């Protein structure tokens, strides 16, 4: 008996008990739909982490000033003034595999016309854009004369541009930062959220000399050329761990720290943080898919139960088929095709519901959902395997019935 004939017999048998067939498929429908939604949510979360990592930059080290003690109380990292611009210059000069950019940071109210916005001000060097892999959407970068002469120019992030200027062109406009006029010479490309959820585009970048003299600095900082952080990028093809050790050794030497003493700075390898985030998102995606797969197993058990009931109900029919010449493999194929048909129909319906649910989740809850054709194919294939696996035992039981006993079955 060919597959087409077996399929027609299977569909007729399933149509006789429509309600029972529908309830049997329900487990597969829910299981496949859940698998597609969970895989989509997990893949969306993983993609978002990857985008945040790319936005932050690659092969990055972050150096922060150490803590200081005031009145017997030890303050947080960055409260001390243990890093300077000269440290960044030394890294660029003595470690060819690294590029360093010093930075000062602080908050300020920014005004343009009748609009105002509270944002973060970064005082840094042109190397910062290279280290962070941050391109300009419009305008130009700082010129050497503006860096050395504390020029009152700035680059603004996409969020600041939107809040202050709306649809107007910000380039060559004059804004006030702490009552100091600054000319906007460029707009930064959109970066999005950081790994910590902060808006990286809500920022204004000014020359570090300008920040220290006019916006963020103090007399002590100006004298010591102190900075809060130094961003370091390892060159492509170099291990960040090796560069990290070179930078640590250089800073300890420059700060005259004795062997065995603690660092007076904090050095973080962001590559390790990124790797941990990626691993966590992968584990989350696999966990969600595994949880959803339990529904498929439950649906498979339901198919096996119903097929066993069907074999019992149709024992005399099976005996009659055998008496008329049906072979063992014909009976086995008949019931196996019925189980697989149930599973595949339920799988296809589940695919439709899963896709609809994914779109609804993305639209109404704002979650990132990423659906790949491979995920749909995997769910349908899994449904097929479930039908074969859980349908084989009832089919085998039907095929091994004794024709005489089957005909006498009441």
User: Long-range contacts of range 167-171, CB-CB < 8 Å, 24 or more positions apart?
Assistant: 169/138, 170/138, 171/138, 171/139
For 161-166, the CB contacts below 8 A with 24+ separation are 161/187, 163/115, 163/117, 164/110, 164/112, 164/115, 164/116, 164/117, 165/112, 165/115
Which own/partner contact pairs does 271-274 have at CB distance under 8 Å and 24+ positions apart? Answer: 271/58, 271/59, 271/60, 271/240, 273/195, 274/53, 274/56, 274/195
Output b/e per residue, 162-174; b: 16+ Cβ within 10 A.
ebbbeeeebbebe
* Range with lowest mean pLDDT among 239-243, 370-374, 406-410: 406-410
Predicted confidence (pLDDT) at residue 39 exceeds the cutoff of 50: yes
Band of pLDDT at residue 259, cut at 50, 70 and 90: confident
pLDDT band at 40, cuts 50/70/90?
confident
Summarize pLDDT for 348-401 with one digit per residue, the tens: 888 888 888 888 877 776 667 777 777 777 777 877 777 777 777 777 777 777
pLDDT for residue 16: 72
Identify whether the C-beta of residue 98 lies closer than 8 Å to the C-beta of residue 112.
no
Q: How many CA atoms lie within 13 A of 197 on its CB side?
A: 0
Bigger pLDDT: 231 vs 398 = 231
Is the model's pLDDT at 231 over the cut of 70?
yes
Task: Provide the pLDDT for residue 27.
Answer: 77
Mean pLDDT of all residues in 312-341: 72
Q: Is 172 in contact with 209 (CB distance < 8 Å)?
A: no
Higher-pLDDT residue of 309 and 133 is: 133
Reported as a single tens digit per residue, the pLDDT across 262-319 is 888 888 887 766 666 667 767 776 776 677 677 777 777 777 777 777 777 666 776 7
Report the pLDDT value the prediction gives residue 183, as an integer from 0 to 100.
94
Q: pLDDT tens-digit profile of 43-102? A: 777 777 666 666 666 688 889 887 654 444 444 454 567 888 999 999 999 999 899 999
Structural tokens at position 379:
């769910």
Strands 136-139 vs 180-188: parallel, antiparallel or unpaired:
antiparallel
Please write the tens of the pLDDT for every residue from 165-199. 988 999 999 999 988 999 999 999 998 777 666 78
| pLDDT value of residue 306 | 74
Contact by Cβ (8 Å): 121, 206:
yes
pLDDT at 196: 64
Cα–Cα distance for residue pair 187/298, rounded to 1 Å:
55
Nearest to residue 83, comparing CAs of 63, 105, 61, 107?
A: 63
């Amino acid at each position: 008996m060919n597959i087409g004939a077996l399929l027609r017999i299977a569909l007729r048998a399933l149509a006789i008990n429509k309600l029972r067939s529908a309830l049997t498929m329900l487990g597969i429908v829910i299981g496949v739909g859940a698998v597609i939604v969970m895989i989509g949510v997990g893949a969306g979360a993983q993609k978002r982490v990857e985008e945040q990592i790319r936005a932050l930059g690659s092969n990055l080290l972050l150096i922060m000033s150490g803590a200081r003690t005031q009145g017997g109380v030890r303050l947080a990292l960055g409260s001390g003034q243990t890093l300077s611009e000269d440290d960044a210059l030394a890294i660029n000069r003595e470690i060819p595999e690294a590029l360093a950019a010093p930075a000062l940071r602080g908050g300020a109210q920014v005004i343009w016309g009748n609009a105002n916005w509270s944002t973060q001000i970064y005082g840094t060097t042109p190397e910062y854009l290279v280290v962070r892999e941050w391109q300009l959407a419009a305008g130009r970068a700082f010129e050497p004369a503006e860096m050395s002469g504390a020029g009152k120019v700035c680059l603004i992030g996409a969020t600041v541009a939107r809040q202050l200027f709306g649809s107007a062109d910000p380039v060559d406009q004059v804004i006030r930062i702490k009552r100091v006029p600054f000319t906007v010479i460029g707009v930064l490309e959109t970066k999005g959220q950081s790994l910590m959820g902060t808006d990286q585009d809500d920022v204004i970048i000014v020359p570090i000399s300008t920040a220290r003299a006019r916006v963020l600095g103090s007399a002590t900082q100006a004298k010591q050329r102190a900075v809060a952080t130094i961003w370091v990028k390892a060159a492509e093809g170099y291990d960040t761990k090796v560069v990290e050790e070179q930078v640590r050794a250089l800073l300890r030497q420059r700060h005259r720290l004795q062997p065995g003493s603690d660092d007076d700075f904090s050095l973080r390898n962001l590559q390790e943080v990124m790797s941990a985030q990626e691993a966590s998102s992968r584990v989350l995606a696999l966990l969600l898919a595994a949880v959803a797969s339990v529904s498929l197993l439950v649906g498979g058990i339901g198919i096996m139960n119903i097929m066993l009931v069907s074999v019992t109900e149709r024992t005399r029919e099976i005996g009659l088929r055998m008496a008329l010449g049906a072979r063992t493999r014909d009976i086995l194929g008949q019931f196996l095709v019925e189980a697989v048909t149930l599973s595949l129909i339920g799988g296809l319906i589940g695919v439709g519901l899963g896709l609809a649910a994914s779109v609804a989740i993305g639209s109404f809850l704002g979650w990132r959902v990423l659906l790949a054709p491979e995920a749909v194919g995997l769910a349908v294939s899994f449904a097929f395997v479930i039908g074969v696996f859980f349908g084989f035992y009832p089919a085998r039981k039907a095929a091994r019935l004794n024709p005489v006993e089957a005909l006498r079955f009441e």
